[in-house]
Amino acid sequence: MLKGKLFYIIGASGVGKDSVMNELKNKLTYKEGFIFTKRFITRPNSDSAEKHIPISKSDFDYRLSNQLFALNWEANGNAYGIGIEIEYWLSKGFHVIVNGSRGYLDVAKTKYPELQSILIEVDKSILYNRLIGRNRESKEQIEPVSYTHLTLPTKRIV
């Protein structure tokens, strides 16, 4: 039985999820019962705000086949995973904060019905400029994605 709460941070690429999570890390501590988990991602670390755990596709698949991920999904040509250790942390009463995926929210809520999703949004023009500035996606990739809006049962942070 899970005692802690899972907070699932979501938002379009470039809205500032990493900045919000970094600020939360400065405010919330282990003493208060919060743990921030890192994602396993099949891409190298870069200068971006998120310091994930880079993993090869074959290593990712090995972990997946051995059920070492509590949550996993694919997006933007990469595989993403949240380690199974969150189950232990939740069972011990810790509140776990993860950087999730909007497209995987329904699956995550099925697995963790008490999950609290938090949607972060910014103005479309700010998002567009951020995505152009980080130079990870082409203009063609940014146009359709940056203007997509999902209606989700979440708390909103603007």
| Interval 73-107: pLDDT, tens | 998 889 999 999 999 999 999 999 999 999 999 99
Residue 27 CA, chain-centre distance (Å), reads: 19
Tens of pLDDT, residues 44-70 = 877 666 788 999 999 999 999 999 999
Distance from C-alpha of 70 to C-alpha of 65, rounded to nearest angstrom: 12
Q: What is the pLDDT of residue 151?
A: 40
Q: What is the pTM of this model?
A: 0.79
Average pLDDT, the chain: 84
Helix or strand run (H / E) with residue 136? none
Distance from C-alpha of 56 to C-alpha of 86, rounded to nearest angstrom: 21
